[in-house]
Structure 1
């Protein structure tokens, strides 16, 4: 028998107490409002949480429960997504606008409740409505449970200090309007520059005065763990620190075998934990974040780069000279068009033991092409007899697609509520995501990047509410294929509610007969976001062990707004511990304030 909403809340807290004798309930209040921030010689009205950018960090221990009261004092409806939290039997708390809930409307409140059992490492939270995540975001740090006198049980020497590093972008435009323009096929806005922990850094010269710069103070000989997150809407980034190396120990809150490198390659949505030893001579060392992008003939965007400083403390008692501290070393960065450094970085990550067992027998296989396309303005359907062209904005809308379908959000009821009622059609007309693209072609033919005859035949597509249903406990394997239709960029694909094994990646067109033999079935990394290489492919595998409706989408902001997404509907299992409970009693209801409920 289904529980009442009030009983469901009581069960949440009861289960939280059962997780462990020393588990805690960590409680926060997030006040979302608009404040004016001065960046790049301009006062910009920015939506933030508790007046901070980045927002407040949530720090918990594995097994704890989290309660966050969201008070929306902004003029926009919004949700908060807990990126990477598995939300076991708790899909209602996933925080995706019109997928798992209606947005929290201006002047309204909502409380998210979830636990973090079975997860350790760096995750993050962010707005999942419109492009507001560019400024509404923060860290979600899950530490291992302490082991007596030994302290925190990391599978590596405990660092002296842990330091969140957010690589992002500063936009001086209204982010909700930006999202509406992108959803309508316009993409002519760019950020002012990259940021590190919300600061533009001294590379950005504002009327002759450098912007604020992030400074990380270190002590000689100490080890620091950087909790690095890419929160950008637009770009992948390379991160380097002059004179220092990294040891990557975790990605997406899953441990990896320690990997030594002098560069971190990180895409939007990804998080990396990396150890840095302060073993260089006393001084100041630049920390540089550089955006990278495909070379021509792809559309070129401005070069975005931000600098912070790693600065050694000095001890005058030991005769150390403070003038040496003032010297600055700059790292040699990869070229902004260098795609291979990122390819090899991600390919070198392997899973650390113990890790969940890799399922061997696959029940459902999908081959998903990731592309751009167009729909006819006004009709939202292709017209083969009179095809619309992506370059003519008066006739068509540019969209992003998965298997030639561009995702469209419902506007009256969330997909999860429709699923819970047992009738997904009340959310609107559904389109089942096909197993493969409707047309097979040379997906990575770079002559299709510019508008022309080759891409024209493949450009026309469909806008629909794309859904794929899975039975509970199904083993699913997906091969993502990045294509060269109108662009040749990589695609960071993020799955909600589940982690997955990254089996392999490759360049060019995926060939099952050839490439399945390259799968890592021994120690694949476990992730929630996979970077599909430019004009390449990536293969993942996971088990649908969490009932509900879960979003799968590209984590580029513009790709999400343009429709590179699908909703996975996972049915209930056969027992109560495999069944989605009822919604919380205060779950927001859809209210129609213009187009506010339609933002992603």
Structure 2
């Protein structure tokens, strides 16, 4: 157990008075927000078929959590489902609070069926759109919702015109399948499961021919400005979002303000959020909102993916609006649906012209055009020095199945596909103690961790499309290992990472999410990273700040972050199939020299026993390869 005995200098009397008064003001301004999430199974009818799905409080999407910067949040999770559950608060920094991050066997034991768990965290120093979701394989497809943080001084303190209304737009997928089974199949590289439709706020839209199909619909007043809070909660796809005859002004991404950027299309990958202003300045009428999934072109594997629609319609209701009003749930969207069509009678909705589904360049330019808003309060400076550097390749490889020590590869049934970082695939440790608890109490469970390599084992033409199909060219690059990968950082370490997407058996982009920290996006490019010329392109003045960065198709992205939040943090791809196949690692951040830079002990009600580790192991598929255990401090 950790004990501290630190000398403390006595402050001056005036300093004590000032500290007490400012603390009192702060405490008076902050609020305690409390929710109860009941996770259960319920039948929902989509595509003319009834499907049993996991939901929170009977809603899809789940309830939105709406708070003000500095508030404290308490969420009681009651698990009435048959599955193990954890909830991750995506993008919440969890400063000195890694215990509430919600990753099974990384930060906590899962919440067993018919058990409860309470998450407690605050949202100090953050504003904008985040979200919450289950962190159990595939269940986040229906267990998710918005987490909206408004400025302490009210909507009038936004660094953009105060909107007439705020509208959450949650893009997702509908799976007419048992999602727990889909997750198990993906972890064993069985890829015959695909979503059946795409959704906006849980609704299919009218592209699907089935009676009773609803679409998300919003009434807007001519000339008014609306703030769209867009979240991609899908498992598989990046989406293009457009509204016919309207433009967006992007003002934030991942709860960080950006230099206003005007565009007619939003590109948003799984895990990302985008805040955009929409001015209702088109001629009166009805306009389709369309969400189109994109995918890598041939020779990459082509999977069934579906567009979906919502509806924007103008109305003549000039009743006083409340700028803080929010359509924050699927129920609110249904109420809009029931209010009638609006607009001129008999109007045919106008549809936008969408990018091609294989157009990945539009996504590249959208993300490249975003920069941080300068001179905004709480804006952090890019660290000039770098303490540790990594070059991490992202791809797919293979391991031998049990009983085939010298297996055949290139799609042979003797081998198993895995996703990799620097040619190593992540697996959960075969232990009964979460890694965070092992780290805090210095138990031998940490000995199972092996070092994430700082560079790939070999250099080759990473973006050669000839590597995408099975063999023979890529055959010698396939063999990989599967271990519990981690990297340890001293408190305050400035880390630079260059992620390089590869063409190894796929040509996907990769939305990489780091828990507990924001990252500075210094630069991104297509093709292979070349330090000799690409470092000169780094934006060290106002780079985009994100918690989820999209490494472009067959391209690269360079970032920096400061490892100053003690704990055990997950870094992983937010494509569910990549995560289930092992594109992940653990970053361990050590304590700093003082109490306020050190991880406190676990909450008194933290669960300590009773989980089913076999079920958890299935999520990531524990390979049978025997590898030498290395100390985590070795390089």
Under TM normalisation by the shorter chain, which class is it?
over 0.9
Change (3 A) 1:18 1:366: farther
Residues 393-542 of structure 1: matches in 2 within 5 Å? 393=413, 395-411=414-430, 412-423=432-443, 425-426=444-445, 429-542=448-561
Look up the match of 1:597: 616
1:138 matched to 2:158? The reply is: no
Give distance in 2, aligned partners of 1:225 and 1:112.
29
Give distance in 2, aligned partners of 1:301 and 1:48.
26
1:157 matched to 2:161? The reply is: yes
Q: Out of 393, 396, 400, which is 1:369 matched to?
A: 393
Give distance in 2, aligned partners of 1:418 and 1:326.
63
What's the CA shift for 1:152?
3.3
What's the CA shift for 1:3?
7.7
What's the CA shift for 1:324?
4.7
Moved more, 54-63 or 428-437: 428-437
Aligned length in residues: 577
Q: Out of 386, 389, 395, which is 2:409 matched to?
A: 389
Look up the match of 2:260: 258
What's the CA shift for 1:589?
3.0
Deviations 1:565-586 (A, max 9, x none): 0000000011101111111122
Give distance in 1, aligned partners of 2:24 and 2:36.
21
Residues 17-96 of structure 1: matches in 2 within 5 Å? 19-96=26-103
1:48 counterpart SS class: strand
Look up the match of 1:122: 129
Work out whether residues 221 and 317 of structure 2, in 8 Å CA contact, stay in contact via their aligned partners in 1.
no
Look up the match of 2:370: 349
Change (3 A) 1:68 1:593: same
Give distance in 1, aligned partners of 2:609 and 2:186.
23
Q: Out of 553, 564, 567, which is 2:583 matched to?
A: 564
2:477 counterpart SS class: helix
Work out whether residues 409 and 475 of structure 2, in 8 Å CA contact, stay in contact via their aligned partners in 1.
yes
Q: Out of 204, 209, 212, which is 1:205 matched to?
A: 209
1:145 counterpart SS class: coil
Look up the match of 2:233: 231
Give unpaired runs (5+ residues) of structure 2.
Answer: 5-21, 320-340, 621-635
Q: Out of 322, 339, 359, which is 2:360 matched to?
A: 339
What's the CA shift for 1:172?
1.0
Give distance in 2, aligned partners of 1:433 and 1:570.
14
Give distance in 2, aligned partners of 1:399 and 1:262.
37
Change (3 A) 1:316 1:2: closer
What's the CA shift for 1:461?
0.5
1:268 matched to 2:273? The reply is: no
Deviations 1:114-152 (A, max 9, x none): 0000000000000001211000000000000126xxx53
Work out whether residues 314 and 342 of structure 2, in 8 Å CA contact, stay in contact via their aligned partners in 1.
no
Look up the match of 1:8: none
Work out whether residues 315 and 343 of structure 2, in 8 Å CA contact, stay in contact via their aligned partners in 1.
no
Change (3 A) 1:408 1:110: same
1:584 matched to 2:603? The reply is: yes
1:21 counterpart SS class: helix
Q: Out of 280, 283, 288, which is 1:281 matched to?
A: 283
Moved more, 323-332 or 174-183: 323-332
What's the CA shift for 1:514?
1.0
What's the CA shift for 1:2?
4.5
Change (3 A) 1:329 1:469: same
What's the CA shift for 1:330?
0.1
1:177 counterpart SS class: helix
Change (3 A) 1:157 1:3: farther
Work out whether residues 288 and 308 of structure 1, in 8 Å CA contact, stay in contact via their aligned partners in 2.
yes
Q: Out of 231, 240, 249, which is 1:247 matched to?
A: 249
1:205 counterpart SS class: coil
Root-mean-square deviation (CA, aligned residues, Å) is 2.0
Look up the match of 2:306: 304
What's the CA shift for 1:21?
2.7
Give distance in 2, aligned partners of 1:170 and 1:588.
32
What's the CA shift for 1:187?
1.2
Work out whether residues 61 and 145 of structure 2, in 8 Å CA contact, stay in contact via their aligned partners in 1.
yes
Change (3 A) 1:435 1:283: same
Give distance in 1, aligned partners of 2:86 and 2:519.
24
Give distance in 1, aligned partners of 2:343 and 2:114.
52
Give distance in 2, aligned partners of 1:510 and 1:388.
32
Change (3 A) 1:520 1:331: same
1:328 counterpart SS class: coil
1:183 matched to 2:187? The reply is: yes
Moved more, 370-379 or 288-297: 370-379
Give distance in 2, aligned partners of 1:68 and 1:534.
37
Work out whether residues 283 and 325 of structure 1, in 8 Å CA contact, stay in contact via their aligned partners in 2.
no
Work out whether residues 86 and 497 of structure 1, in 8 Å CA contact, stay in contact via their aligned partners in 2.
yes
Change (3 A) 1:169 1:16: farther
Give distance in 2, aligned partners of 1:342 and 1:130.
26
2:156 counterpart SS class: coil
Work out whether residues 491 and 533 of structure 1, in 8 Å CA contact, stay in contact via their aligned partners in 2.
yes
TM-score normalised to structure 2 length: 0.88
